[in-house]
């Protein structure tokens, strides 16, 4: 958190020393050991002083970078991850308590969100090595739960699908029974030739469903695949404009935060933005029992690989003009699907 123009070098302001790091990192092997090393109480006390001195100028609060890093390196069930969650909860609580004391809580809207979900890694793969012969004049960039492949070789899709850890495959033009990159918003002048997601499952680890394939890193949990467990995230809103104690039954995404805030702040200047206003969640919006209607749709492609037939699927949920990517998978193809795609 920063108050405008009051932070100087070394993380010191005119009013108090402000922590600038979450703990000491001693290489990749131990980088999660102290990722929650700031003691909660002193940090909250500093936070309280900053809020009292600068609340009228503070525009955003950011907490780096837990529980993200700790869960990546320790897993969801680890003691360190639970501590990171507790600390993040207490830091948020300190902000809300300070706003209560300042008499600002009743006029303040709070939105808590995460940028992704995650899956526990239960298998390791080396796609760059496995594709090295094909990519003598190309590259495979491992990117969390997905791999970006740069190759103009016409056999690239066939070779990729020989690997049993590969999930849905996307190409620039949707050739070879793949999906076009544009289907999931990955097209553009700098887009790779091929993108594929790692395979995933509903298997449970530490009481949480969702496993995936990962590269030989030190990570226990990762994200970036097309698994629903990676795509689902947290979004909660509280304030005078939002309904209390209400769960939105309709599909919602982070893409909806901007248009909703534009409406709440009355900043609409006619510019079209992506996403939708979450009117059903607002007190003066759609009635709680009249959530917007939505539809589920999917795209499917049948293909042959490793001596059998497969079906590649990607599914979406759509509210009006806003579509939310909900997941994708590769599974053995039923005969009916093969006939429909022949």
**pLDDT, tens only, 36-45:** 434 455 566 6
Residue 256, classified by CB atoms within 10 Å of its CB into exposed (0-12), middle (13-18) or buried (19+), is: buried
Mean pLDDT of 119-143: 93
pLDDT band at 46 (very low <50, low <70, confident <90, very high): low
pLDDT-based confidence at 180, cuts 50/70/90? very high
The string of pLDDT tens digits covering residues 216-232 is 999 999 999 999 999 99
Question: In the predicted model, what is the mean pLDDT of the chain?
Answer: 84
Identify the pLDDT of residue 55: 65
Question: What percent of the chain shows pLDDT beyond 70?
Answer: 79
Rounded mean pLDDT, 59-69: 73
Residue 136's pLDDT is 83
E strands present in 166-294 = 166-171, 179-180, 194-198, 200-205, 208-214, 221-222, 235-238
Q: How confident is the model at residue 289 (pLDDT cuts 50, 70, 90)?
A: low
pLDDT above 60: residue 288:
no
| CB-CB neighbours of 255 under 10 Å | 14
């Amino acid at each position: 958190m920063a108050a405008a123009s009051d932070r100087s070098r070394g993380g010191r302001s005119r009013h108090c020393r402000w922590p600038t790091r979450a703990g000491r990192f001693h290489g990749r092997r131990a980088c999660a050991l102290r990722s929650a090393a700031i003691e909660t109480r002193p940090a909250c006390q500093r936070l309280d002083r900053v809020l009292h001195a600068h609340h009228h100028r503070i525009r955003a609060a950011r907490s780096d970078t837990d529980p993200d890093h700790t869960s990546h390196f320790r897993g969801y069930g680890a003691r360190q991850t639970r501590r990171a969650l507790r600390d993040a909860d207490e830091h948020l609580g300190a902000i809300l308590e300070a706003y209560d004391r300042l008499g600002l809580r009743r006029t303040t809207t709070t939105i808590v969100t995460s940028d992704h979900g995650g899956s526990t890694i239960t298998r390791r793969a080396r796609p760059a090595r496995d594709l090295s012969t094909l990519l003598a004049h190309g590259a495979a960039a491992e990117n969390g739960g997905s791999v970006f492949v740069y190759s103009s070789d016409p056999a690239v899709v066939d070779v990729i699908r020989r690997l049993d850890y590969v999930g849905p495959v996307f190409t620039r033009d949707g050739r070879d029974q793949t999906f076009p990159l544009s289907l999931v918003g990955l097209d553009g002048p700098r887009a790779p030739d091929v993108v594929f997601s790692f395979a995933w499952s509903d298997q449970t680890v530490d009481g949480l469903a969702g496993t995936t394939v990962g590269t030989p890193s030190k990570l226990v949990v990762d994200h970036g695949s097309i698994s629903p467990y990676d795509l689902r995230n947290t979004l909660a809103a509280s304030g005078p404009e939002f309904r209390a104690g209400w769960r939105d039954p309709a599909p919602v995404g982070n893409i909806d935060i901007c248009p909703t805030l534009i409406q709440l702040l009355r900043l609409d200047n006619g510019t079209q933005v992506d996403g939708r206003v979450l009117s059903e969640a607002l007190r003066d919006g759609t009635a709680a029992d009249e959530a917007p209607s939505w539809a589920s749709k999917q795209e499917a492609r049948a293909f042959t690989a490793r001596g059998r037939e497969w079906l590649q699927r990607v599914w979406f949920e759509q509210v009006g003009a806003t579509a939310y990517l909900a997941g994708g998978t590769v599974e053995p193809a039923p005969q009916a699907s093969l006939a429909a795609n022949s």
